[in-house]
Structures are given as C-alpha cells and as structure tokens.
Structure 1
Amino acid sequence: MTKTVLITGCSSGFGEAAAAYFADRGWNVIATMRNPSPPLNDRLNVFVTRLDVQDPASIKAAVAEGVARFGRLDVVVNNAGYGLSGIFEGTPREKVRDQFEVNVFGVMDVIRETLPYFRKNRSGLYVNVSSGAGIFALPMISLYNASKFALEGFSESLSYELAALGIGVKIVEPGGVLETKFGNRSGAEFATTSTPSDYDGFVRGAGAVFDGLRRSGGKSTSQQVAEVIYRAATDGSNRLRYVATDDIKPYIDKRHGSSEEDYMKFMRDNLMPKLG
C-alpha cells in the first residue's frame, strides 16, 4: 500500500519542499501548516490542512482528518519551528515560552497525538528537524539554541524508548538556508525585544558575524534539506542524526573531534564579535 507521511510547517521552506519531494515519489502527504495556502493543493496525493503546533486541538483534528483521508500513517516529519534571536536579558518571558512551545512542546504534542497509530501497528518513524544550533551554540540565539538542544536530547532519549515498539526516531540537522522564510518571523520577533544599551557594541559585532555566516552558507537549498529528510525516512537504517547542509560541518567536526579547550578557542576566534 502507498505510504503516508504527515509533515508540519509546510507553508514554505523545508516543509513545502519535503511535501513536494515525498509526493513526487508516490507518497501520500498530509501537508500541515498554521494558515493553509494553495501551492500544494493541486496534487491528488497531498492533503493540505491546518495544524498549529501551539494549538493541541488543531493537532488532533489534522491527524484524524489525514488518517481518515489516506487510511494510514507511516512517517511524521516534525518540521515546524522558528528561531528567536536577541540578547537573553532583553527577551520577554512570554517570548521564551513561545520559542519552546513551537520548537519543543509542539513537537512533543504532535508525537503524543500520533503515537497511538504507530503503537497499534508496531511500526512508524519520526523525523525531527533540528539544526546545527542543536549541536553548537552561537551568539545572540541562546533561546533558539536552548530549544534545539532540548529537541536533540528529547529525540535521542525517545529513540531508545520507542525502539522496543518497532518505532524509529531520527534527527535532521540543517544549517542556514537563505531562500526560506524562516528568518522572517525571527526578525519580527527580534523587533519585540528590548536590549539594554550596554550590549549595543556586542549586538553590532554579532550582526557582522551573522552576515558572514549567511554569506558562507548561502549555497544550501530547501531542496537539499528535503532530500535528506526523505533519505532519513526511507533508508531503513537505525541511524539517529543526519547533517543536511555542508556549512555547519566544520563546527560539528570541531565539537566532536577536538578537546573542549580547542573547540572553545575555535568558536571564540570565529564567532565572538570583534569589539572596539
């Protein structure tokens, strides 16, 4: 029978690209997003429906409607997310909660709602889209880092729990992809923070650092990430982590392949803003 995948955050970027990639390869796709839009609607094997990871009722409805439409559920791709940037001290507590509700608690709620289907069949797979920021930390995104570090730990631990039931968990780690709309919400959220003036020099320097990172990582595409998501979902292995873009590999190699002292020197030399 034709397999079915449910993907969150399909309005643009990795989610939209992954939905099209799975559909082109004959999968049934439950393409979910906060505000359903038409780009994927013209495909007979794609069911577009509303799912807001901060709204548990919408998760429940989307899963039930998708399973009713296609009759089965084989893979769930937890892709919805955004990155909150800014100085921690200037970020309101409610924005911190939003970051974790989308990137961590939303993933947990989608998994909680879909697990009964997988348990019943003693099969199924979760592909959780993390980030290089779930492996190494960068200035000005401490809360995004915290949410992705949490997602990585949760996913790894969950993989041990669910293996006994024949259910898999995998993590896909992309870096910066400029063509997505991921940065739009991040920029809007940054505008709502209030940074003490003592940080002004650091913020300016960090902006220059991120401009350099964006220029060096700008060759990666959503299509490339979609291909890695698909490979994770279909390669039949028990591999946990998949690095999806080349731009973050030097930082991951340093994190895993050097001493703590060498790693911190590398990160400070390359990522700490130059002040004065």
Structure 2
Amino acid sequence: MSRTVLITGASSGIGRASVRVFQEAGFNVVATMRRPDAETEINQLANVLVTRLDVEDKASIEAAIMAGIDRFGGIDVLVNNAGYGLYGIFESIPEEKLRHQFQVNLFGVMDTVRAILPHFRKRGSGTIINVSSGAGHFTLPMISAYCSSKFALEGFTEALSYELLAIGIDVKLIIPHGGVGETAFQQRAADDFANDGTPADYLPFLQKSVETFARLGTALTMTSTDVANVIHEASIDGTQRLRYFVGDMSNGWLKARTELNEEDYITHMREKFL
C-alpha cells in the first residue's frame, strides 16, 4: 500500500515542491494550506488531497489530520513546513509580531505534532519531519525573531526525538542554509519588514545590513525542489538520523559557525555587518 504524507504550508515554496516530489514518488499526499479554495493546480494531481490547515487554528489541524486518515486510511509522515521570517531591528518590532513569529514557527509545529501523536502511537510508527533553517544554528542581524524561533525549534525537535524514538516514532530536522531562491519566504519577510519607527541611531547599521543581505540574495542557487528532495529522502531512508543539512557546506555562515572558534567566529560576523 502507498504511504501517506501530510505537509503543512503547501501553497508555495518548499511545501509546494514537496507535494510534487512525494506525489511523483508514489505517496498519497495531504497538502494543507490556509486558503485551499484558492488552489487550482496541485488539487488536480492524483492521490493528492488539498485541505485547510492553519497552524494557528488547532481545530483546523485536527480536521486536516482526520481528513487525511479518512481519505487514505492513515498518515505515515508529517512534514511541518509552514513558517515565515520576520525582519526588522528588534527594538522596532511590535510585541504582537514577535509573538506571532513564535506562534507560527514553534507553537504551530508543537500543536501539529501533538495532534498527530495519538494516531502514530496507535499505529506504532510514524515519522515527523520539521523544516528548520541555518538560522537555527547561526544568527544574523535584523532577523532576531526568526533566529530565536528556529533555535527554539531545533531544541524542541532534538529533545522530542529522544522521547518518541522510545516508542517507535522517528523525528528529523531538515536544515536549508544559504538561502532558497524562488520561494515566497523572502517576499513575505519583506512585506513584514518592521522598520517603521526604527530609531535614527540604527540607520547606518540598517543600511549596511540591507546591502549585505542584498548581495547574498543575488547568489541564491538552491531551489525549493532541492530541499523537497532531501525531505523525501529523509522520510524513506530507514535511518534514525536527526539532522539533514541542505546547502553548500564549503562556504557561508554555517561553515564559519562550525569551523571557527568562538572568538574568531564572532569577529568574522561583526566584520560583515559593522
């Protein structure tokens, strides 16, 4: 029998690419999104159920899981992909936006995991794949909210993996680093850029940081499909591996974080932005 995967945030980017990769590999796919009525393409694919799931709405999470079970007889893999990045100088970001960052990137994942665990425990198996970020291992200015939410997601997922491995459920982290082109992530982050009311003291730093990020943006070569392929591989490789890094390990922030000592690393990062 075909295995079934439930994917959150399937309307664009990595989530959408994952729907296609899993479907082409023979999986049944529960493709979830906040506004399924607007979908006109992936809902035409064989063995794909498009349904509503908003990670901030617990009732919609439970309903999407039940819809997937009813349609395909069970769920084998959960891919927690939904998320976004909040840009801005910390002092200028309103508290409600900070809370929303954590609600989507961390608590929404927790709620989705909590909702599916009874089903996985009943079956005695299951795989949970959380999509993290290099920003859960290194930090960058102007995305302090995003970095902290991903650091928290990394800690939660690692700790959870010990608990669930004991009852036959695998937990994995997919960690894109270096930036993913052609996703809606950067656009949404730009739309949310919280620079309104930024104190003038920050403006020289803000300008230099924006220029640095702009240069990085022109060098993006990794695609959503590249990440989706790793997510699929993690779901079928039969290992208990926790972390899967996706990106060029030969340079960039992650290389600096892992290879430099603490003093040299901090000096390296400050030189990039100060």
TM category (shorter chain) comes to over 0.9
**Mapped partners of 1:193, 1:228: distance in 2:** 38
- Per-residue deviation at 1:265? 1.9
- Per-residue deviation at 1:244? 1.3
One of 95, 120, 123 as aligned partner of 2:122: 120
**Mapped partners of 1:161, 1:248: distance in 2:** 34
Q: Which runs of 5+ in 1 are unaligned?
A: none
Instruction: Tell me the amino acid that sits aligned with residue 4 of structure 2.
Output: T
Per-residue CA deviation, residues 3-37 of structure 1 (Å, 9 max, x unaligned), is 00000000010000001100001000000001111
Query: Aligned residue for 1:17?
Result: 17
Query: Aligned residue for 1:33?
Result: 33
1:259 and 2:261 equivalent?
A: yes
Instruction: Tell me the amino acid that sits aligned with residue 68 of structure 1.
Output: D
8 Å contact from structure 1 (residues 53, 110) kept in 2: yes
One of 193, 199, 204 as aligned partner of 2:202: 199
Moved over 4 A (4+): none
Per-residue CA deviation, residues 74-107 of structure 1 (Å, 9 max, x unaligned), is 0000000000010000000000010000000000
The correspondence of residues 159-174 of structure 1 with structure 2, limited to 5 A, is: 159-174=161-176
Query: Aligned residue for 2:84?
Result: 82
The correspondence of residues 126-165 of structure 1 with structure 2, limited to 5 A, is: 126-165=128-167
Provide the TM-score with structure 2 as the length reference: 0.95
1:244 and 2:246 equivalent?
A: yes
Provide the TM-score with structure 1 as the length reference: 0.95
Instruction: Tell me the amino acid that sits aligned with residue 203 of structure 1.
Output: L
8 Å contact from structure 2 (residues 88, 195) kept in 1: no
- Per-residue deviation at 1:190? 1.1
- Per-residue deviation at 1:256? 2.2
**Mapped partners of 2:251, 2:131: distance in 1:** 16
Instruction: Tell me the amino acid that sits aligned with residue 10 of structure 1.
Output: A
Instruction: Tell me the amino acid that sits aligned with residue 147 of structure 2.
Output: N
**Mapped partners of 1:7, 1:246: distance in 2:** 25
**Mapped partners of 1:258, 1:178: distance in 2:** 27
* SS in structure 2 of the partner of residue 52 of structure 1: coil
Provide the alpha-carbon RMSD of the alignment. Answer: 1.4
**Paired residues, what number?**
271
More divergent stretch after superposition (26-35 vs 170-179): 170-179
* SS in structure 1 of the partner of residue 109 of structure 2: helix
**Mapped partners of 2:196, 2:138: distance in 1:** 23
Identity between Structure 1 and Structure 2 (%):
54
* SS in structure 1 of the partner of residue 145 of structure 2: helix
8 Å contact from structure 1 (residues 131, 173) kept in 2: yes
8 Å contact from structure 1 (residues 75, 124) kept in 2: yes
